[in-house]
Amino acid sequence: MIRLSTAQSGFEAEFRALLDQARDTTAQVDAAVASIIAEVKRGGDAALLDLTTRFDRWTPEGGAAGLRVPASEIDAAQARCAPELLDALDLAATRIERFHAAQLPNDVELDDTLGLTLGMRWGAIDAAGIYVPGGKAAYPSSVLMNAIPARVAGVGRIAMAVPTPDGVLNDLVLAAAHRAGVTEIWRVGGAQAIAALAWGTDSIHPVDRVAGPGNAYVAEAKRQVFGRVGIDSIAGPSEVVVLADASQNPALIAIDLLAQAEHDESAQAILITTSAQMAHAVEHAVADHLATLPRAAIAGASWDKHGAIIVVRDWEEGAALVDRLAPEHLEVMVADPQALFARVRHAGAAFLGAHCPEALGDYVAGPNHVLPTGRTARFASGLSVFDFLKRTTWISAEKRGLDAIGPAAVALAEAEGLTAHARSIAMRLGQG
């Protein structure tokens, strides 16, 4: 774990080294992913069956038809779920749906006094592909966060791909898919699932956009199919920055840091504080928590390799460091969190106050937990209904509108040497 202080000489060089830490591993698998994508493009369903047997260690019964999860299996899975878990799932889904419904934009229509009408129309994409990790890493919350915005946006077809190592499929993941409005579920994982969603096979029709988290192979596959389809983002390892003053509980700060660190060894958790005493107390509290956490090996490795505690002289310095880190998650645990948050420009999602841990946003708060990682919050945003909508602008012109602005367009077209452009307007003006 790195200990830094803005009051010490050499801070800038050490902080730059922290920013430049390599935690993304997708480049290491690019050739393997390209081979898998080519195999699916060439072999279609047969390739999916072979890759499923090879990587997930089971062979679907009935050939390609066995890759699709039937409605009867989804119903049976829901019946096996504990009622309190289904209630929790419904609470989360209801809150996520309400928040994303509030994002829906209005069409634009602007009447021009010169005789034109200008507009912009929003419309949903036709089909979305949702990737969800499977097997031991089963995340029903990711199903809700990815599928509900698509359904709220008006997407008619939502195809979900989920790997089933050794044939195992999580019941709550199926229940979440049903609750979120997923229209079809496929037992396909890894880069081959992304390839199938992007290019299509005889069984799986292609989609327009792919969203959802996955391992390095999934992330690299999304990178390689971008352009054929849209993607939400190239998700890297999880990260959190916690801003905390001397009034906070170090045990709570420590467990919030470890909540991100336990994702995987490449995750990053950083504390920024104005109190050297708090920095010391949190460091000890982290060690205490690691002694009892089931995923201590993962969380400990993340904390040791990528964790940091930074002591700043004031919150002006603290806010400036946050903007340079542009973290996926930002917790603001200070006396006046709103005021400090107002000084921060770059963060994927913020969690304000001592009673709002980031984990609350992972499940039931309502805003999306699919967020920009790896400092991309400088220019990117979390998943929303806008990821499943597209805009079409339109223009309607009367003769007087063409007469008013057409000559300027003719002049510009001629200046660019595009004679047909100029003539298509000039002929309507009676000049051609």
Does the residue 9 lie in any domain?
A: yes
Does the residue 352 lie in any domain?
A: yes
Number of domains in the chain: 2
Domain boundary among 176, 208, 231: 231
Check whether residue 109 and residue 189 sit in a common domain: yes
Two tokens, residue 200: 């299509």
Q: Is residue 178 a contact partner of residue 76, using CB atoms and an 8 Å limit? A: no
pTM above 0.85, yes or no: yes
Does the residue 333 lie in any domain?
A: yes
Cα(317)–Cα(12) distance, integer angstroms: 12
Two tokens, residue 175: 């229940």
Check whether residue 153 and residue 213 sit in a common domain: yes
Cα(389)–Cα(365) distance, integer angstroms: 23
pLDDT of 22:
75
CA-based nearest residue to 25, from 296, 217, 297:
217
DSSP track, 209-240: EEE----HHHHHHHHHHBTTBEES----S-EE
Check whether residue 188 and residue 100 sit in a common domain: yes
Report DSSP state, residue 300: H
CA-based nearest residue to 243, from 302, 346, 330:
330
Check whether residue 116 and residue 223 sit in a common domain: yes
Compute φ and ψ for 95, nearest 5 degrees. Answer: -70, -40
Does the residue 420 lie in any domain?
A: no
Check whether residue 164 and residue 61 sit in a common domain: yes
Residue-range definition of the domain harbouring residue 84: 26-231
In single-letter form, the type of residue at position 135 comes to G
Cα(380)–Cα(362) distance, integer angstroms: 19
Please enumerate, by residue number, every residue annotated as part of a binding site: 131, 192, 215, 238, 260, 263, 329, 362, 416, 421
In single-letter form, the type of residue at position 183 comes to T
Does the residue 361 lie in any domain?
A: yes
DSSP track, 392-428: EEEEEE-HHHHHHHHHHHHHHHHHTT-HHHHHHHHTT
Does the residue 422 lie in any domain?
A: no
Check whether residue 220 and residue 143 sit in a common domain: yes
Check whether residue 222 and residue 243 sit in a common domain: no
- Tens-digit pLDDT string for the chain (432 aa): 999 999 999 999 999 999 998 776 666 899 999 999 999 999 999 999 999 999 999 998 889 999 999 999 999 999 999 999 999 999 999 999 999 999 999 999 999 999 999 999 999 999 999 999 876 568 999 999 999 999 999 999 999 999 999 998 999 999 999 999 999 999 999 999 999 999 999 999 999 999 999 888 999 999 999 999 999 999 889 999 999 999 999 999 999 999 999 998 999 999 999 999 999 999 999 999 999 999 999 999 999 999 999 999 999 999 999 999 999 999 999 999 999 999 999 999 999 999 999 999 999 999 999 999 999 999 999 999 999 999 999 999 999 999 999 999 999 999 999 999 999 999 999 865
Cα(295)–Cα(141) distance, integer angstroms: 19
Domain boundary among 366, 384, 400: 366
Cα(425)–Cα(407) distance, integer angstroms: 8
CA-based nearest residue to 347, from 380, 317, 318:
380
Check whether residue 222 and residue 354 sit in a common domain: no
Check whether residue 281 and residue 208 sit in a common domain: no
Domain boundary among 231, 256, 287: 231
- Helix, strand or coil for residue 349? strand
Please enumerate, by residue number, every residue annotated as part of a binding site for Zn(2+): 260, 263, 362, 421
CATH code at position 166: 3.40.50.1980
Check whether residue 43 and residue 6 sit in a common domain: no
- Residues involved in catalysis: 328-329
Does the residue 400 lie in any domain?
A: no
Does the residue 73 lie in any domain?
A: yes
Q: Is residue 26 a contact partner of residue 235, using CB atoms and an 8 Å limit? A: no
Please enumerate, by residue number, every residue annotated as part of a binding site for NAD(+): 131, 192, 215
Cα(259)–Cα(305) distance, integer angstroms: 16
Check whether residue 341 and residue 360 sit in a common domain: yes
In single-letter form, the type of residue at position 176 comes to A
Check whether residue 105 and residue 64 sit in a common domain: yes
